[in-house]
Amino acid sequence: MKTLYIKARAPSRIGIGGGGSDLPAFFERYGGAVLNVGIDLYSYTKVHANGKNATKITSHDWGIIREITDTELEFERNEKDNVDIVKAVMQECGLDPRKGYDILIHSMAPKNSGLAGSSALLTALLLVMSNIAGKPILDRKLLAETAIRIERNILKREGGHQDQYASVFGGFNFIEFYKERTEVYPLRLQEDLIAELHSAMMLFETPYRRTKRAHEIEKKKEEDIQKEGETIEALKNIKNYAYKIKDALIKGDLQALGEYLHESWVEKQKLPGVANSNIERLYEIARQHGAYGGKLCGAGEGGFLFIVAEISNRKRIMNALVKEGANLVNFDFDFRGAITWRTAY
């Protein structure tokens, strides 16, 4: 009898507008709004029974192999190898490591990229583990909410709430956050508009990485929100720009889309730990070579730079940023969201 493998994948995301307003400390008082899109930099997992009394975790990204038993489901609070994510999902699904599983995890999004690769990985694992436990989570919104609860309440990692919805739903989504509920509005775009947006959107891997963990940056933002002041006003403006960015995107008005992105990025830089001189320099170079606007992806400090420009300026922008050590990353939009499947191989 052949071994049956259960596999899953979930997309990373580009946060286009509103990022930061999805932090609970903000949206529970003022409401939040974000626009994001799933992209085909996937996080993958493959799981099968190994017939042993321990579970083996293999991470291609971190180059590690770990064995765990039930007595080792304590969390190490270590974001360097993603083992805690596997443990947390197994705990949530009621899976005993002594039953024996081989678990392979891999993310196409680089570490500390700001593309939410770890949230995508958690989502993919949750899809697989809930199926193995005989309790598959079929409702997409419930899947996202469960992933958020694991990451925030079990793993104790601060952050916003948009990443998990992006991984689960895929495609372009406008999401509104309130204290008592979250509303997800998938944008149904025509094929011509999708092609136009893809031609205009550029993603660059910068040579700079965060010096702090994402949750540390987000924790500082949450603390500043409690103090009111400039952070609150900046987040209110960022939230308002999310609606303008969404309207411009739906209309296919690239210039307005880029300009609103730029104005929102100016506001975002008022938040703690978001920008630095290196990122600001790269962004200004892109603008000087024809970019309408853009932003840094994720919590801040480093990672990937998202740019919107006319197709006629792509080459100029690419050449200028490559000279500064950045790399253009080819990507496509993902419209399927998180999926799982079974195979004999």
pLDDT tens digits along 54-110: 999 999 888 889 999 875 667 766 666 689 999 999 999 999 999 999 999 999 999
Note whether 166 and 328 are within 8 A (CB): no
* Residues of the chain above pLDDT 90, percent: 79
Q: What is the pLDDT of residues 100-159, one digit of tens each?
A: 999 999 999 998 889 999 999 999 999 999 999 999 999 999 999 999 999 999 998 889
Nearest Cα to 173, choosing from 190, 193, 188, 152? 188
* Residues of the chain above pLDDT 70, percent: 90
Residue 212 has pLDDT above 90, yes or no: no
Q: What is the pLDDT of residues 255-270, one digit of tens each?
A: 999 999 999 999 999 9
For the chain, domains (ranges, CATH) are: 5-188+334-343 (3.30.230.10), 191-328 (3.30.70.890)
Q: What is the pLDDT of residues 216-263, one digit of tens each?
A: 656 666 666 766 678 899 999 999 999 999 999 999 999 999 999 999
- pLDDT at 78 (0 to 100): 60
**Those residues with Cβ within 8 angstroms of residue 340's Cβ, 6 or more apart along the chain or in another chain:** 6, 7, 8, 124, 127, 128, 131
Q: Is 93 left (phi over 0), alpha (psi -120 to 50) or beta?
A: alpha
Q: Read off the pLDDT of each residue in 41-47 and give the average, rounded to a whole number.
A: 98
Model-level pTM greater than 0.85?
yes
